[in-house]
Structure 1
């Protein structure tokens, strides 16, 4: 039976939950997630959890903050004057906005964390930063770097 190792391309079905049991992502009803083990395409804890699994195996992995999206960085939370945001953009607590830095063509997603009549507090951390994560996973396919289905 094929065992996942660094360099293999794997297909995985998963359900990701937070410590309170809230599901934040799942492949249910979709194609399995495909990635190359050890390539950095997924968070370290997920990569490490797949390594050594056998095709068809199911397990639950617990990923601490450090091996997930890291701790929340307070320097990435900032407050703007509400008047600095165009009036035609509706603002709601928890909403994600895309900001653009001068000279950077890629938008930076920020989450509205606080809203007053005069100020808006935005958080540019990854939405899962500061969270321990749990994944129920099933390894459904393994292909070696040569393309052979193991």
Structure 2
């Protein structure tokens, strides 16, 4: 019986996967009925996911954890800020849970970045510029469906 080929960098693979956070909440799911096809090493999925797939064979499933620093970064409490409510004027009524595009200056240039509203009162709005998944370990269950040439 011939040895089955293993996935390696630059292979084109088809895969299904489920990504979840602690507590089991599914944050992304790609079913076997609609797999994603990509070249390992292309950066279409997290590099740590691609690395964990090395050596997998067609039909094999693996479950592994991706640490925050290899996923969406560590949570940085300095990225929480209070913004005067007046900044929003009458354009928007910020409410906890909303994700807003706010302008910040980075390296001398204005950029739009997402910020999650944590709290709001009559005077100020507390926003968090961290990615919503920052600081979380992501658990992936991946099934390798095919290896192309």
* TM-score range relative to shorter protein: 0.7 to 0.9
Q: Give the structure with higher Rg (CA).
A: 2
Does residue 60 in structure 1 map to residue 63 in structure 2? Answer: yes
1:139, distance to aligned residue in structure 2 (A): 1.1
Number of equivalenced pairs: 143
Aligned-partner SS, 2:115: strand
SS of equivalent residue, structure 1 residue 61: strand
Q: Where does 1:64-143 land on structure 2 (aligned, <5 Å)?
A: 64-101=67-104, 103-104=109-110, 107-143=112-148
Whether the 8 Å CA contact 2:8–2:40 is kept in 1: the answer is yes
- Note if contact 1:93-1:113 (Cα within 8 Å) is conserved in structure 2: yes
Task: Indicate the SS of the match to 1:78.
Answer: strand
- Could you tell me the TM-score, scaled by structure 2's length? 0.82
Task: Give unpaired runs (5+ residues) of structure 2.
Answer: none
- State which drifts further: 25-34 or 8-17: 25-34
1:12/1:137 contact within 8 Å kept: yes
**Structure 1: runs of 5 or more not aligned:** none
The 2-side partners of 1:37 and 1:86 are apart by 47
Normalised by the size of structure 1, how large is the TM-score?
Answer: 0.82
Q: Distance in 2 between matches of 1:59 and 1:66?
A: 21
Flag as ranges the 4+ runs of structure 1 deviating above 3 A: 100-104
Partner of 2:50, secondary structure, is helix
Which structure carries more strand by proportion? 2
Distance verdict in 2 for CA 1:89–1:2, change over 3 Å:
farther
